[in-house]
Each structure stands twice: as structure tokens, then as C-alpha cells.
């Protein structure tokens, strides 16, 4: 889990509990899914998975695991809302 978080650019201090690591990992995965959903609504160049790895926000130095997860979850909700709005506006 630590390696996966670090591969997404998330700083891990080593003081996080297993539950905190799980919380952050879940938030990162939710963010990636929401970003992929939004990316599917707009024309992009490049591979969507690579783009998502590049856009996962870094964890601030003073940010607790819970604060980081909450920030990512809020961003994910916004991405999902934007992608739903975009799909409604598309002609069928």
C-alpha cells in the first residue's frame, strides 16, 4: 500500500497506521476513478491511466492522513458532478 501511494506522489511518513494508509489509498483510488470518468467526457491526448497518475494531488507536509483523504474525496465528488453535468449536456 505504501508503494502504491508513493507511486501516485503521495508522501508517506511512516507514522501512519494501517487504517490511515487504507483511508488514503481508498481516497486516491476514488480520485483516480472520478478523474478517469471526467477525462472520458473531454477529448484528451495520451493514456487516461497515465494522466490520472500525474494528477493525483500531493499530500501537504502538514496534512494528516484524514485531512488528505477528505480533500481528495471532495475533489472526487466535484469531478463526478462535473462528469454527470457534462454527460447530460451531450446530445443523444
The confidence band for 30, taking pLDDT boundaries of 50, 70 and 90, is very high
Residue that wins the pLDDT comparison between 55 and 72: 72
The confidence band for 60, taking pLDDT boundaries of 50, 70 and 90, is very high
Q: Which domain holds residue 75?
A: 2-89
Q: Report the pLDDT averaged over residues 4-10.
A: 87
Overall number of domains in the chain: 1
Phi, psi of 18 (to 5 degrees): -60, -40
pLDDT digits (tens, 9 = 90+) for 34-43: 888 887 755 4
Q: DSSP string of 40-77?
A: TTS--SS-HHHHHHHHSPPPPTT--HHHHHHHHHHHHH
Which residues, 6+ apart, have CB-to-CB distance to 77 below 8 Å? 34
Q: What is the pTM of this model?
A: 0.76
83 and 31 Cβ atoms separated by less than 8 Å: no
Amino acid at each position: 500500500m505504501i508503494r502504491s501511494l508513493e507511486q501516485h506522489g503521495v508522501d508517506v511518513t511512516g507514522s501512519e497506521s494501517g487504517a490511515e494508509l487504507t483511508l488514503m489509498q481508498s481516497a486516491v483510488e476514488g480520485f483516480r476513478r472520478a478523474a478517469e470518468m471526467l477525462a472520458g467526457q473531454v477529448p484528451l491526448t495520451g493514456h487516461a491511466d497515465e494522466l490520472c497518475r500525474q494528477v493525483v494531488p500531493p499530500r501537504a507536509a502538514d496534512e494528516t492522513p484524514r485531512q488528505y483523504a477528505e480533500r481528495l474525496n471532495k475533489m472526487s465528488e466535484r469531478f463526478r458532478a462535473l462528469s454527470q453535468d457534462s454527460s447530460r449536456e451531450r446530445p443523444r
